[in-house]
Structure 1
């Protein structure tokens, strides 16, 4: 589980990403759009850039593993770890 708290709701993140993607052409570069919008919502430009990259991976416009698949893999790894521990306990008990 993450040790950091999410200061921004999912709606704020989605809106900020949408603003960057929609207003990118009005700025000299994507980074300028990110800096401008991040200052308005109160997050760092690096954070907003990460949100934009993750959104692009999730919608398929950038290569990578989508969040849905990552979450599913984490859940399966957790279940696998728990099953291994249960098997170890049963092995020791018998």
Structure 2
């Protein structure tokens, strides 16, 4: 049985996916990751995003309309840098935990 979602939920979910689309390999991957956050089935969200992308999605156009090409490029570069730094921090946390266990006298 299908579940009806209010238009506000649809708009919010699609907007979130479109805003973070460059962080994922595909719209499908973005929908799979974001759907649980907005309590929507991932397949429904994927279809909504697909329709929004095909229609030129007004929310995506509004977001892009305020930015010049140079600003969009810089934004994309900064988002990639943030992702890389988060990944490096995660690796450093794991390494520090590993070495802390190795140096712990109770570990031996």
* TM-score (normalizing by structure 2): 0.44
Q: Counting helix residues as a fraction of each chain, which structure ranks higher?
A: 2
Asked which structure has the greater RCO (Cα within 8 Å, sep 6+), the reply is 2
